Amino acid sequence: MTFDRSVKIAPSILSADFADFGREIQAIEAQGADWIHVDVMDGHFVPNLTFGPPAVKAFRKHVKTVMDVHLMISPVDAYIDAYADAGTDILTAHVEAGPHSHRTMQAIRGAGMKSGIALNPGTPAEAVEHLLDLTDLVCVMTVNPGFGGQKFIDMTAKVKKLREMIGDRPVHIEIDGGVDPTTAPLVVAAGADVLVAGSAVFRGGSVENPAPYGENIRAIKASVAG
């Protein structure tokens, strides 16, 4: 993975058909996804449950781009090796998930993955200031995590502040929640380069009829072009 700040679309398979993940991943990549975003939830850190390491390892066989795994779990550290073994490229943990995010970022890199740190809407940018040399990605949540299809919460000021704090370090700013062609321009103008989108990408399409996936991805890209 080489670092670049061009805008990337990372469809969240939380909005895919849960009985058909392999073909959904193939379809969304064929339609132009840059990364595949995998939302892991534990029913404890967030009020919803999705899947764990064995499922993520099975997804990996179908991902040709970048597998971006977003852990909404607490605690994190005991599971880091399992996500490395599952073939994760970027492993993101929440700064709110425990008192030792610094150790968690070190451990993720130590296990051979890129590290990411996520912030809930109620958490200020300063909470990750001392992690920026240990992280490859900051994920700014623009919904309270747990569910797809929620309304975008404007975090533009936080994104701008993070962009300044990051300076010329090779750290991505990812936006997660409520991203669509109306909200994407706000966060890209503020300095984001990775846009997670679930409902806005998967709506209207299916494995049998994947063309709308491509139209939806292109609509988000067009909204931030130039």
> Looking at 116, 178, 205, 210, which residue binds ligand DX5 (CB under 6 A)?
178
Q: φ, ψ for residue 44 (rounded to 5)? A: -135, -55
Q: Least Å distance between CB 168 and ligand DX5?
A: 28
Q: Where would I find the H helices in 132-225?
A: 156-166, 184-190, 199-202, 211-224
Among 74, 156, 199, 206, binds ligand DX5 (CB under 6 A): 199
Determine the Cα angle at 207 with ends 177 and 58, to 5°. 75
Question: What is the number of other CB atoms lying within 10 angstroms of the CB of residue 181?
Answer: 16
Residue 66 CB, nearest distance to ligand DX5 (Å)? 15
Angle ∠(146,151,157) on CA atoms, nearest 5: 95
Kindly indicate which of the ranges 19-27, 99-107, 165-173, 191-199 contains the residues binding ligand DX5, using the contact rule CB under 6 A: 191-199
**177 interacts with, out of ligand DX5, Zn ion, none, CB within 5 to 8 A per kind:** ligand DX5
Contact at 8 Å (CB) between 195 and 8?
A: yes
Query: Is residue 43 near ligand DX5 by the rule CB under 6 A?
Result: no
What is the distance between the alpha carbons of residues 99 and 77, in angstroms, rounded to a whole number?
11
Examine the residue annotation and report whether 20 is marked as an active-site residue of this protein: no
Give the residue numbers marked as catalytic: 39, 176
Residues making contact with ligand DX5 (CB under 6 A): 12, 14-15, 37, 39, 70, 143, 145-146, 148-150, 176-179, 196-200
Q: Which residues are annotated as a binding site for a divalent metal cation?
A: 37, 39, 70, 176
